[in-house]
A = this chain, B = another copy of it.
Amino acid sequence: MTRTVGVIGGMGPLATQAFMRALVQETDASTDQDHLHVLVDSDPSIPDRTAFITGAGPDPRPAILAAGRRLQIAGAELFVMPCNTANVWVDEIQERLAMPFVDWIQTAVDSVPPGSVVGLLATSGTIRAGHFQRRLDEKGIAWRTPPERDQDKVMTAIYGPGGVKTIGRAGPSARGAIQAISRRLREQGATSLLLACTELPFLVPEVELDGMVVIDPAVATARRVIWQAGGTVRRQDSVA
The chain A residues found within 8 Å of chain B, CB to CB, are 10-14, 16-17, 20-21, 23-25, 27, 29-48, 70-71, 73-75, 159, 165-169, 240
- Candidates B42, B167, B168; contact of A40 at CB < 8 Å: B42
Closest CB in chain B relative to A238 CB, distance in Å: 9
Tell whether A30 pairs with B166 under 8 Å between CB atoms, given A37-B42, A38-B42, A40-B40. Answer: yes
Residue of B nearest to A159 (CB): B31
A45 to B74, CA, bound (A): 16
Judging by beta carbons under 8 Å apart, are A20 and B33 in contact? no
A44 to B167, CA, bound (A): 31
B residues near A31, Cβ cutoff 8 Å: 48, 159, 165-166
B residues near A33, Cβ cutoff 8 Å: 44-45, 47-48
Residue of B nearest to A40 (CB): B40
- Candidates B29, B45, B73; contact of A168 at CB < 8 Å: B29
Closest CB in chain B relative to A163 CB, distance in Å: 9
